[in-house]
Chain A
Amino acid sequence: MLLEAKNIVFGYERGRNILENMSLSIESGERLALVGPSGCGKSTLAQILAGNYVPGSGQVLLDGKALPRRGFCPVQLIYQHPEKALNPRWKLGKSLFEAWAPDDGFLNALGIEKVWLSRYPAELSGGEMQRFCIARALAPETRFLIADEITTMLDVVTQAQIWNMLLRIAAERNLGILAVTHNGELAKKISARTVTFPEKT
């Protein structure tokens, strides 16, 4: 499969576009790192690729077709701040099973303890919450993962645990991964190709 962003234009304010004619493509099984200065629109592009924002012009195409408007989206976004991605008033089990019902083996592989399912997000650490966000994004229908600085707020041990696990699952299922990161060393480890955001003029 092929995920393409074609000539994306996007602005939060009239007359000030943050993305101008941005294009990129990523294939199944490919791992791509997206780097660029702060405030250049990396997270905005991530939101557009996942179908959360509608670009002013340009298209996001999955195998030449637009992303589905309803139902499960095969392009899943994992956010930088897991605490912002989980409903604080839902127990984590509910947030997870809303997407799909992973079996115990899968939860084990991600290092999710069964007792966490009946806890609220505020009772877990950032790394533990992020595991849920990743588990939720890894439903069987998922084909592409957009990882927007998913381990920036975690310690290096947890970072290594999460990425090793994610890379293994992506390889098994032939998923495409687009990873936004500021860490050059991490980018080298997790991706085969790097796209650098153009500097604004």
Chain B
Amino acid sequence: MDFFQGMADNFSNLWTIIGDLTVTGLTQGAIYALIALGYTLVYGVLQLINFAHSEVFLVGAFGSVMVWGWLGYSSGAAAVPPLLVVIGMLLLGAVTASIFSGGTALIIERVAYRPLRRKNAPRLIFLITAIGASVAISEIVGLLVDRKVVSTPALVHQKFQVWFDPSDIGLNINSFGITNLQIGIVLCAIGMWLALDLFLNRTKFGLGIRSVAQDEDTAALMGVNKDRVIMLTFLLGGLAAGVAAVLYNLKFPQITFDMGFLLGIKAFTAAVLGGIGNLRGALVGGLVLGLVENWGAGFFGNDWMNVTAFVVLVVVLMFRPTGILGDSLGKARA
């Protein structure tokens, strides 16, 4: 009976802090979602897991911290700069990170994937070159920063915007708040998803991407340049990863050269969870994963947070391999 008593205690413990966990989970989930967009785009078009996508994110994160550092905003700066400067810095960071990430994504496509596509190599080989690219890029970053932890500047002054106290309405939940940064991160993720969705569905480039995703040979016959479409797909994934990188820099105090691996796996889990190849799926999957792993951490303890994420991945793939929302880029609105 001790076991059940323990479970009940854990549950009531989880319940009292569920507010904070939910807010944190949604924020982290938004970052996962932005990275997951890259996995989902490439998978939708090429049916290929771009294992090196985590390093696309990594390069963006280090690139933006580097440029902020050049302009004098490193982690040491005591005071938060005035609002206009902050906005400028954020935009600059987003642009830099997107350039770095997008560039990395294009290089990976050109060096590691295109020669293999020409040879119609089996997927396993793509995965191996992707692993090679992933190891090489994170090692290059590691050598550049001497394998040290890099601190990110505190650009945004975090303060609570909304404050909830559920005990007012008789619920036994600790009071919790939402900071400006958390709201911003979630809004950014939703905005990026909306922008990508519009791009895919309303523009000529988007039409090209959807056509290659559906049937590349027919698309080629209709005059679509396949190589260019694939490059564009990688670039879009890179841009989303760049935005994710800036948000990560704002939220977390430190970045390391080997952080890509775990984040990449989580983002991939998010993409699969929502239904890979489906943009909405990436967003939903990211948010759900963030929630589930934070609730899991509240229930089983912080040490088991990542285990929860991976168990979720395995269970989802076993019972619903197409994910929550399920359709792919090619089949969606065909």
Q: Do A and B make up one complex?
A: no
